[in-house]
Amino acid sequence: MNTIVKLRHPEKRNRPDNPPLRKPPWIRVKAPGSKGYRETLSIVRRHGLSTVCEEAGCPNIGECWENKHATMMIMGDTCTRACAFCNVATGKPLPLDANEPINVGLAVAEMGLAHVVITSVDRDDLDDGGAAHFAAVIRAIRAAAPATTIEVLTPDFMHKSGAVETVLEARPDVFNHNLETVPRLYPTIRPGARYFTSLELLHRIKRLDAAMFTKSGMMVGLGESREEVHQVMDDLRAAQVEFLTLGQYLQPTLKHAAVANFITPDEFDDYAAMARGKGFLMVAASPLTRSSYHAGDDFEKLRAARANG
């Protein structure tokens, strides 16, 4: 019998190899394998779920899964776009799984999560970009785990009418959409997206619901300048975004965009101080910071910061 091998990134196979830079000591993480990690893995597998922790090769998976924190990735494990930084497979996705919302809700309840992050692949093939599916997952979590706070990390929905409204009507606690990088690098790093489309989505959320907590993040180490990072901060504040995450870009494979440079922990501290000075209520900035890393603790800090004025 012939074996069919499915390439994880067939769309990237003709890209030139980018030899990775040697990682500095502050990037090193311990390989996962603890009891808590295995328990989380078992829950994810039992409910047939995908997680961005695995699909994107997150360096924090060992720590997060040991504490039963997992970022659920809905609508399948195949994306309709081919961003140069992302390790999620690209291709033609399968139809949506109608049982996924209830399975996510049951998994969240079984883990006993105080806070959960729900993200997705891009589904440009769907009429609403997957907005109704996001809403169904939020409602299912509310039903199965009513005490859990919910953060969504959505795609840009490709300007599809009513998509943002559909997600907002389901009442997540935090609405996150990442800008990912500076505008100059979009054509090579995020070619399927547009910087000002993403910025407008974040601003639209606030116009529709001024009380909604909004969040965005970006990677550094792709060749951006400090001035460009500061400009993104200004753009996000103009869109009334309250929470900023900044983390080091790490190259998933030889076929992905190369790391231009490693930002030091002291440089991340400087970025954090600058962001706080620009008025962000919450800033998470470190080499290993990711959108969902310590998201629950950070949400509580954000909520307290707003309450304190």
154 assigned to some structural domain: yes
DSSP-assigned beta bridge partners for residue 227? none
Give the E-state strand segments of 133-288 in sequence order: 149-153, 174-176, 213-220, 243-248, 282-285
128 assigned to some structural domain: yes
What's the pLDDT at 53?
A: 60
224 assigned to some structural domain: yes
**3-class secondary structure per residue, 67-99:** CCCCCEEECCCEECCCCCCCCCEECCCCCCCCC
**How far apart (Å, rounded) are the C-alpha atoms in residues 23 and 26?**
8
Look at the chain and report how many structural domains it folds into.
Answer: 1
With a threshold of 0.75, does the pTM exceed it?
yes
Look-up: residue for tokens 């990442």?
178
**How far apart (Å, rounded) are the C-alpha atoms in residues 17 and 11?**
14
**How far apart (Å, rounded) are the C-alpha atoms in residues 124 and 133?**
13
- Please say whether the beta carbons of 244 and 286 come within 8 A: no
What's the pLDDT at 45?
A: 77
The angle that helices 226-238 and 195-208 make with each other, rounded to 10 degrees, is 30
7 assigned to some structural domain: no
120 assigned to some structural domain: yes
What's the pLDDT at 13?
A: 53
**How far apart (Å, rounded) are the C-alpha atoms in residues 153 and 97?**
19
DSSP-assigned beta bridge partners for residue 180? 218
Q: Which domain holds residue 247?
A: 32-307
> What is the DSSP-derived secondary structure letter of residue 56?
T
296 assigned to some structural domain: yes
Give me the CATH number covering residue 226.
3.20.20.70
* Interval 61-106: pLDDT, tens: 666 667 666 688 899 989 999 899 888 888 999 999 999 999 999 9
179 assigned to some structural domain: yes
297 to 240, 269, 294: CA distances (angstroms):
21, 19, 6
260 assigned to some structural domain: yes
What's the pLDDT at 68?
A: 61
Mean pLDDT by 10 residues, the chain (309 residues): 41 65 79 68 73 62 65 90 88 94 93 90 95 98 96 93 97 97 97 95 97 97 98 98 95 89 97 98 92 81 86
